[in-house]
Structure 1
Amino acid sequence: MKNIRTLGLYKLPLHVAIIMDGNGRWAKKKELPRIAGHREGIKRAKEIVEVSREIGIKVITLYTFSYENWQRPQEEIAVLMQLLKNYLEGEWENLVKQDIRLIAIGDLKLLPPDTYEVLQKVIKNTAKCQTMILNLAISYGGRQEIIHAVKVLIENVKQGNIKSDEINEVIFSQYLWTKGLPDPDFIIRTSGEFRLSNFLLWQSAYAEFYITPILWPDFNRFQFIEALKEYQRRERRFGKISEQFREKDRK
């Protein structure tokens, strides 16, 4: 693990989530096919995962394929699913070597059977890894996640497993696909768009946001470190005032 103070870091987020946007625009700017942008985007994903592990981030969530992305042309979807499958097949041994556990959230049953099978295999093979969690949001939508959680919760109330007046934020969170994960502290979005795009709607309630105009294929480890430096300049109060946190620090 690299010395985070040497890098100018002293306060890291526990969980970083990234909306990896701009692959298509990157390819268009270079007069390349869209697939070239997606391939370059995978290289950046590998790089950011590796540096995250090196500096000690515990959870990183990558918005890999949204629920709405199923509306794209079938040819592009097929290419993206093949790229995902290739990434999983080629990277799982490296994940084990780096002690990185892979998990995935989303409506995974919509994935092509061969991609789903490889995904589950890598999840199983990395299940005992403990240094970091790599969470892929695939076929994921925040609204879809909340609706799914509500349906399961209603069924549990009907069956008498839980009483309706017992439901609170903590209980509800246990029905989300992100069950067991801390909420993201820091959400990065590349390509300059100012929207969540249906990403971690419940979990992002108190996340810090970082928007950069840099397209994802150009977002390297150096830009990532700069983003983390920006995060450590933020004051997270969670509805309280600064003096309350300063008083807590003095105790």
Structure 2
Amino acid sequence: MRGANEGRGLLYRLYISRLRRQLAGATVPHHVAMMIDGNRRWARQLGYASAAQGHRAGAAKMHEFLRWCDDLGIPVVSLYLLSTDNLRKRDSQELADLIEIIAELAEELSHEPGWRVRPVGRTDLLPAELARVLADVDERTRDNTGLHVNLAVGYGGRSEIVDAVRSIIAQHDENGGSLEELAASLTPEQIGEHLYTGGQPDPDLVIRTSGEQRLSDFLLWQSAHSEFYFVEALGPDLREVDFLRAIRDYATRDRRFGG
């Protein structure tokens, strides 16, 4: 049995090397957005008593995923960790566990050499301790110029657009402009500048695990021209080979903006 396992491991490593060779010189995404899904289902299938084990395994996988992205030279990655809907709909114990796990993950990521870790979302909706950890991580990594990691926590795409429009209106009002002038001058680019991710490139590729094929209110504005790739594996079961296949698939697509 040991020999069979070693053989499978060798074949897997050889396939990984083959995929990496295929990607040499290929166009990789500048910004990848990841929707990790299936943590609770993974925990149930393995017989765990609560979803916390699934969320913890999913968080560990996201740390690994970020290293894969960094190794491939992808400069920006956004992770969807906690939505505004999650804050309202998850049972209190699962939500408390998830908040603790996210705080631990943010701390871990902030100690990766050179990584810039930035929370995006409504931190005012979060428990005070998690909001404090995210603020500390943001400040600690502010001057780093390596992999830029967006942690979407307390995030909702519709709310983000509303907040952006409110910000534009407030700024316009401070400058003494009229509503008529604002209506005449408002552009998609202006809204983009006031999003939580303002100043960053939009995601080229959005990946979602567990076979689900929906956006779930994630980067609604920014993903207007994104490519999508759906992986059958549950979040904690995501493999590097799944990731490299997604990048290979992206590299072969003929991107058509607006058509």
Secondary structure (helix, strand or coil) at the match of 1:200 reads coil
Is the contact made by 1:4 and 1:55 (CA closer than 8 Å) also made in structure 2?
no
Question: 1:45 is matched by which residue type in structure 2?
Answer: M
Structure 1 distance, partners of 2:148, 2:176, is 30
Give yes or no for the alignment of 1:80 onto 2:95.
no
Structure 2 distance, partners of 1:111, 1:83, is 14
Give yes or no for the alignment of 1:47 onto 2:64.
yes
Secondary structure (helix, strand or coil) at the match of 2:194 reads coil
Q: How does 1:123-138 map to 2 (within 5 A)?
A: 123-138=138-153
Instruction: Tell me by how many angstroms 1:4 deviates.
Output: 10
1:24 equivalent among 20, 37, 40 = 40
Is the contact made by 1:174 and 1:180 (CA closer than 8 Å) also made in structure 2?
yes
1:192 equivalent among 189, 192, 211 = 211
Secondary structure (helix, strand or coil) at the match of 2:245 reads helix
Give yes or no for the alignment of 1:215 onto 2:234.
yes
Instruction: Tell me by how many angstroms 1:11 deviates.
Output: 1.1
Structure 2 distance, partners of 1:5, 1:30, is 30
Structure 1 distance, partners of 2:68, 2:176, is 43
Instruction: Tell me by how many angstroms 1:37 deviates.
Output: 0.6
Question: 2:60 is matched by which residue type in structure 1?
Answer: K
Q: For structure 1, list consecutive stretches of 5 or more residues without a partner in the other structure.
A: 241-251
Instruction: Tell me by how many angstroms 1:215 deviates.
Output: 0.7
Structure 2 distance, partners of 1:217, 1:167, is 43
Change (3 A) 1:155 1:221: same
Instruction: Tell me by how many angstroms 1:29 deviates.
Output: 1.1
1:203 equivalent among 222, 237, 245 = 222
Secondary structure (helix, strand or coil) at the match of 1:44 reads helix
Instruction: Tell me by how many angstroms 1:225 deviates.
Output: 0.7
Is the contact made by 1:24 and 1:38 (CA closer than 8 Å) also made in structure 2?
yes
Question: 1:65 is matched by which residue type in structure 2?
Answer: L
Secondary structure (helix, strand or coil) at the match of 1:83 reads helix
Question: 1:194 is matched by which residue type in structure 2?
Answer: Q
Structure 1 distance, partners of 2:115, 2:190, is 28
Q: Deviations over 1:112-169 (max 9, x none)?
A: 1111111111111111111210111001000010111112222223333664122111
Point out the more displaced range, 119-128 or 150-159: 150-159
1:107 equivalent among 115, 122, 134 = 122
Q: Which residue of 1 aligns with 2:84?
A: 67
Q: For structure 2, list consecutive stretches of 5 or more residues without a partner in the other structure.
A: 1-16
Is the contact made by 1:19 and 1:62 (CA closer than 8 Å) also made in structure 2?
yes
Q: Which residue of 2 aligns with 1:173?
A: 192
Instruction: Tell me by how many angstroms 1:24 deviates.
Output: 0.4
Structure 1 distance, partners of 2:21, 2:135, is 36
Is the contact made by 2:19 and 2:245 (CA closer than 8 Å) also made in structure 1?
no
Q: What is the CA RMSD across the aligned residues, in angstroms?
A: 1.8
Structure 1 distance, partners of 2:20, 2:34, is 24
Change (3 A) 1:223 1:161: farther
TM-score by length of 1: 0.89
Point out the more displaced range, 26-35 or 160-169: 160-169
Q: Which residue of 2 aligns with 1:153?
A: 168
Q: Aligned residue pairs: how many? A: 235
Q: Deviations over 1:77-99 (max 9, x none)?
A: 11111111222334422x2x2x1
Structure 2 distance, partners of 1:156, 1:212, is 42
Question: 2:158 is matched by which residue type in structure 1?
Answer: R
Structure 1 distance, partners of 2:231, 2:55, is 19
Q: Deviations over 1:181-219 (max 9, x none)?
A: 100000001111111000111101000001121111111
Percent identity among equivalent residues?
37
Structure 1 distance, partners of 2:22, 2:61, is 22
Is the contact made by 2:83 and 2:154 (CA closer than 8 Å) also made in structure 1?
yes
Give yes or no for the alignment of 1:118 onto 2:133.
yes
